[in-house]
Amino acid sequence: MMKKITMAITIIMCLSIFCLNLPVFLKAANETKVIEIKAMNWAYDPPEIWVTEGDHVILNLTSLDTEHIFVIDEYNIHVTLTRGVWVTVEFIADKPGDFYYYCAVSAHRGYGEQGILHVLPAGKIHTTLTVSFSKVTANTGERVEVTGSIDPPVGGVVVRLIYTRPDGKTKVSEVITAEDGTFKDFLVPDIDGRWEVVANWLGDEEHFGSESKPAYLIVQAPFPILYVGAGIGALIAVGVIYYIIKQKRKPPSSS
């Protein structure tokens, strides 16, 4: 009888220890995410990052110009960044939700120097997002189709497209996915150079959000010979009209 009681107590103790350490075991099974973040006046690159609840997150941080202070309040992260020096911060993403990372120097945050850490709840379906231009090169003013998809397909959700112009400025467009997870947008580039587009979506109750790899479009001014040809054609037309008018005004010759 005593042996059975002792065995029962031993089993209960083992189960208790296992349950108490279950979160640790689960976290160990999650991924390690290594992410680089660069601070500058007045922005962070990238402006958004995604991890999953329980992930071991490694942030490699640096400044591209002056001193910045990188802060995530909810994870007790407060790090000073100096130009050209990399600093590493590690933590377990054990709080799901959206959290701002920002610069605590003076008015930097007020000027827009902040980003968002998305910690997605565990247990959802992972998704991948793709985006591409319909062509590799285009002329300024030309309408270019932009397409992409979510896999596995998720319909009726918002996908955000972030276009980066050759001068570094960005523009954002939002589109709704079709039932098969595809989406479409159009871009009319107004300056020449390399354009970039990145797509992302935040996910829903059943799916993790994701971000695409960037796609690129080389934009160039229309070939100059078109303008030269048009100019020559216009000059010839003016010359012909002038000749006709002059001939009409010329007095008839006397016989």
**Domains of the chain, residue spans:** 27-123, 124-222
pLDDT of residue 243: 66
Percent of residues, the chain, with pLDDT higher than 70:
80
Bridge partners, residue 72, by sequence: 77
Q: Does domain 27-123 have CATH number 2.60.40.420?
A: yes
Reported confidence tier of residue 18, pLDDT bands at 50, 70, 90: very low
Average pLDDT of 144-164?
96
Q: Report pLDDT digits (tens) over 126-140.
A: 899 999 999 999 999
- DSSP classification of residue 125: B
Using DSSP's 3-state secondary structure scheme, residue 19 falls into helix
Distance between CA atoms of 139 and 136, rounded to whole angstroms? 11
Q: What is the DSSP string of 199-240?
A: EEEEE-SSBEEEEPPPEEEEEEPPPHHHHHHHHHHHHHHHHH
CB-count burial class (<10 Å; 0-12, 13-18, 19+) for 123: exposed
Q: Report pLDDT digits (tens) over 185-240.
A: 999 999 999 999 999 999 998 898 999 999 999 999 986 654 555 667 777 777 66
| Residue 22 confidence (pLDDT) above 50 | no
Distance between CA atoms of 173 and 130, rounded to whole angstroms? 16
Average pLDDT, the chain: 86
pLDDT of residue 237: 72
Q: Report pLDDT digits (tens) over 49-77.
A: 989 899 999 999 999 999 999 999 999 99
Percent of residues, the chain, with pLDDT higher than 90:
67
Within 10 angstroms of residue 51's Cβ, the number of other Cβ atoms is 22
pLDDT of residue 3: 58
**177: Cβ–Cβ under 8 A, 6 or more apart, which residues?**
149, 150, 153, 154, 155, 156, 157, 159, 183
**174: Cβ–Cβ under 8 A, 6 or more apart, which residues?**
158, 159, 160, 161
Domains 27-123 and 124-222 share a fold: yes
Q: What is the CATH number of domain 124-222?
A: 2.60.40.3880
